Amino acid sequence: MAGTPALASRGLGIRFGGHAAVDDVSAAFEAGTLTAIVGPNGAGKTTYFNLLSGQLKASAGAVLYKGEDITRLSAAQRTARGIGRAFQLTNLFPRLSVAENVRLAVQSRHRAGFNMLALWRQRADLIEQAQACLEQVGLAARRDDLAAKLPHGDKRKLEVAMLMALEPEVVMFDEPTAGMGVDEVPVILELIRRLKARGDKTILLVEHKMDVIQTLADRIVVLHNGRLVADGRPAEVMASSIVQEAYLGVRRKSKEPAHV
């Protein structure tokens, strides 16, 4: 529906004991845009992602997908609708090969399930699509390796390949280049750039690296103590006093000046 955001949160919140980890956060994300979610450590970024993707149930507010209230849907139901998220290695099958991991993700999109005849017919297609996903992340040469044996950076790439295999409309990346070597980072950034260039995906990115944010983001949402404190175009948001304070606050604690 024109004008309806792909994904939105309305007054979204969750409390852990007495602590509001995400507090009354309202934001809407349009198709064709990439929004970086930033904030100091403990600001609530990952918790907000967990609420959007359904890993956590909200204590307050709502999550809307194309205008439909999906707050009560499970994470799996949200994935089936088109909200895809890279899960920081928890979704890999360590005893399967790289290619088999991606093939399972392709298969789950086709919902081939255990219908053997359908599976057989689709097999060649599945393999081809899995291969294309591996090529996108630069993992084609490791297709036969066991997932468990991959170095950390390659595991992160595999996770992104599996996310691509799901062909989600909303794509959520939580620090996609964390733990990667400097030579591996450009592959993932290029993939995200190409995904964005398609113009039909809604991309959300939790990211600390300022250079990554500045290259990719159309918009920045800043969380601080669970609350949304700034939301706008990168240049405006970065210049705002609240971000300068949060940024400087982190800089005092961290040795990495490139972190928001």
Ligand X SMILES: Nc1ncnc2c1ncn2[C@@H]1O[C@H](COP(=O)(O)OP(=O)(O)OP(=O)(O)O)[C@@H](O)[C@H]1O
What is the contact surface with ligand X in residues (CB under 6 A)? 16, 21, 39, 41-47
- At residue 22, what are phi and psi to the nearest 5 degrees? -130, 130
Tell me the Cα Rg of the chain.
19
Question: CB of residue 241 vs ligand X: minimum separation in angstroms?
Answer: 20
* Residue closer to ligand X (CB basis): 60 or 127: 60
CA 159 to CA 156: how far, in whole Å?
A: 5
Nearest to ligand X of 174, 184 (CB atom): 174
CB-nearer residue toward ligand X: 45 or 142? 45
Extract the tokens encoding 188.
């993932």
What is the closest distance, in whole angstroms, from the C-beta atom of residue 2 to ligand X in the complex?
A: 33
Q: Among residues 108 and 225, whose Cβ is nearest to ligand X?
A: 225
126's CB contacts (< 8 A; 6+ apart) are 103, 106, 107, 110, 112
Instruction: Give whichever of 139 and 212 is closer to ligand X, judged by the CB atom.
Output: 212
Buried b (16+ CB within 10 A) or exposed e, 70-90: bbebeeeebbebbbbbbbbee
Minimum CB separation of residue 23 from ligand X in Å reads 10
Kindly report the backbone phi and psi dihedral angles of residue 135, in degrees, each rounded to the nearest multiple of 5, phi listed first.
Answer: -65, -40
**Shortest gap between Cβ of 45 and ligand X (angstroms)?**
3
Nearest distance from residue 75's CB to ligand X, in Å?
A: 15
Which residues have CB under 8 Å from 239's CB, separation 6+? none
- Comparing CB distances to ligand X, the nearer of 84 and 226 is 226
Location of structure tokens 């599945």: 126
CB of 15 to ligand X, least distance (A): 9
